[in-house]
Amino acid sequence: MAGNSFGKLFNLTTYGESHGPALGGVIDGCPSGIKLDLDEIQNELNRRKPGQSAIVTQRKEPDTVKFHSGIFEGVTTGTSIGFVIENTNQKSHDYSHIKDSYRPSHADYTYDKKYGVRDYRGGGRSSARETACRVVAGAIAKQMLKGIEIKAYVSGVGTMKLDTPYNDIDLTQVESNIVRCPDQDMAAKMETYIKEVRAKGDTVGGIVSCIIKNVPVGLGEPVFDKLHAQLGKAMLSINAVKGFEYGSGFHGSTMYGSDHNDAFNNDGTTKTNYSGGVQGGISNGMDIYFNVAFKPVATLIQKYETIDKAGNTVEMQGKGRHDPCVVPRAVPIVEAMAALVLADFYLINKLYNYQV
């Protein structure tokens, strides 16, 4: 109810502040009998962790996940899976400058007004650090969904856009550069650009795209819990996301029905895929693809004016180790959230055709 849970059958509940002793979570509803590759889960965390490359925040956090329950001799038991990621790098900073002031386009103001109190250290609960827990759960969901391929990549940094149609993307190239853009030339340009932006103490937005292959027909529930609606919610819940579109997306709104309709092949696949793999909220077996827009990070390494709790103007100076552009690190988070959505619908779908 208070927003810290995601999913109905494959349910993740998380906790943790940026500078508290630990983050953690509980996965309830993971089926029994899944042999987990724990290294692979840690690998996913490593793709998200700070300090991994020259274009992300240089903060050092090992982000090591420890499992407390629900796994016995490497296999899920069907009971709830508890896990913890300790915060090892909570420097005892002086936070007095941030304690009573509201940074622009952060959650300082809204948390304070909503709750009356807040853990202001490093953004507290509003920090994107909480997404580490999503990656852990998403990695388990991926293993449950063996056979379904969920791959995200960077398709935009600032005004630089990768225009390649989704079905021409070479997904094997995503991890071959630190931007996580599958086109090496574009990746090189984006990398240079991000470094320039950082040198100015500025930040820039970007776009993460995602393609999901081998989805069985039938995932998603009609009316309110359409597959793409839940995917949209999942993506919009990631810090800094401003927009979501799937299939033909915003461009589709400019098209004629006679161009947009996806004619069937005789095997039930479609000749085009403007639908983005979803019809009537339910997967049709074609590739699912979507775009997620991220705003520029709000923390600038610049001097600026803002207000304090009393409404007085105060001068602040951004400092520390921050991401100039979040999209490279957002790639595994987008994948994790997609995996959570699919895992949930996968389980729900096992129920509702009674004969099966």
Query: Is residue 245 part of the contact set for a second copy (CB under 8 A)?
Result: yes
Query: Is residue 125 part of the contact set for a second copy (CB under 8 A)?
Result: yes
CB of 23 closer than 8 Å to CB of 129: yes
Query: Is residue 247 part of the contact set for a second copy (CB under 8 A)?
Result: yes
* Minimum separation from the CB atom of position 289 to a second copy (A): 12
Query: Is residue 198 part of the contact set for a second copy (CB under 8 A)?
Result: no
- Positions in 126-155 near a second copy (CB under 8 A): 126, 130, 144
Query: Is residue 320 part of the contact set for a second copy (CB under 8 A)?
Result: no
Place of tokens 């030339």: 185
Bridge partners, residue 208, by sequence: 154, 292
Which residue type is seen at 184?
Q
| Distance from chain centroid for Cα 322 | 18
What tokens were used for 345?
Answer: 């619908």
* Minimum separation from the CB atom of position 269 to a second copy (A): 10
The pair phi, psi for residue 74, each rounded to 5°, is 80, 5
Q: How far apart are CA 113 and CA 109, in angstroms?
A: 6
Residue from 82, 98, 100, 213 touching a second copy (CB under 8 A): that is 82
Q: How far apart are CA 356 and CA 350, in angstroms?
A: 8
DSSP category for residue 223:
G
Q: How far apart are CA 267 and CA 61, in angstroms?
A: 50
Query: Is residue 163 part of the contact set for a second copy (CB under 8 A)?
Result: no
Query: Is residue 165 part of the contact set for a second copy (CB under 8 A)?
Result: no
Query: Is residue 23 part of the contact set for a second copy (CB under 8 A)?
Result: yes
Give the distance between the most distant pair of CA atoms in the chain.
Answer: 68
- Positions in 333-352 near a second copy (CB under 8 A): 347-352
Query: Is residue 62 part of the contact set for a second copy (CB under 8 A)?
Result: no
Which one, 289 or 332, has the nearer CB to a second copy?
289
Query: Is residue 33 part of the contact set for a second copy (CB under 8 A)?
Result: yes
Residue from 96, 116, 163, 185 touching a second copy (CB under 8 A): that is 116
Show Cβ contacts of residue 124 under 8 Å, excluding neighbours closer than 6 positions.
17, 18, 19, 111, 118
Query: Is residue 51 part of the contact set for a second copy (CB under 8 A)?
Result: no
Q: How far apart are CA 174 and CA 144, in angstroms?
A: 23
* Minimum separation from the CB atom of position 220 to a second copy (A): 8
Q: How far apart are CA 190 and CA 325, in angstroms?
A: 10
Query: Is residue 96 part of the contact set for a second copy (CB under 8 A)?
Result: no
The pair phi, psi for residue 333, each rounded to 5°, is -70, -45
Q: Which range of residues in 51-59, 63-71, 176-184, 188-196 is near a second copy by CB under 8 A?
A: 63-71
Which residue type is seen at 214?
N
Q: Which range of residues in 52-60, 163-171, 176-184, 295-303 is near a second copy by CB under 8 A?
A: 295-303
Place of tokens 């240089």: 58
124 in a labelled binding site: no
* Minimum separation from the CB atom of position 155 to a second copy (A): 10
Which one, 57 or 291, has the nearer CB to a second copy?
291
The pair phi, psi for residue 226, each rounded to 5°, is -60, 150
Q: Which range of residues in 37-45, 162-170, 188-196, 223-231 is near a second copy by CB under 8 A?
A: 223-231
Among 149, 183, 150, residue whose Cα is nearest residue 165 = 183
Query: Is residue 95 part of the contact set for a second copy (CB under 8 A)?
Result: no
Q: How far apart are CA 130 and CA 190, in angstroms?
A: 26
Which one, 88 or 302, has the nearer CB to a second copy?
302
Show Cβ contacts of residue 256 under 8 Å, excluding neighbours closer than 6 positions.
none
Query: Is residue 237 part of the contact set for a second copy (CB under 8 A)?
Result: yes
Query: Is residue 176 part of the contact set for a second copy (CB under 8 A)?
Result: no
Query: Is residue 24 part of the contact set for a second copy (CB under 8 A)?
Result: yes
Query: Is residue 50 part of the contact set for a second copy (CB under 8 A)?
Result: no
Query: Is residue 52 part of the contact set for a second copy (CB under 8 A)?
Result: no
Residues of the binding site: 48, 125-127, 239-240, 280, 295-299, 321
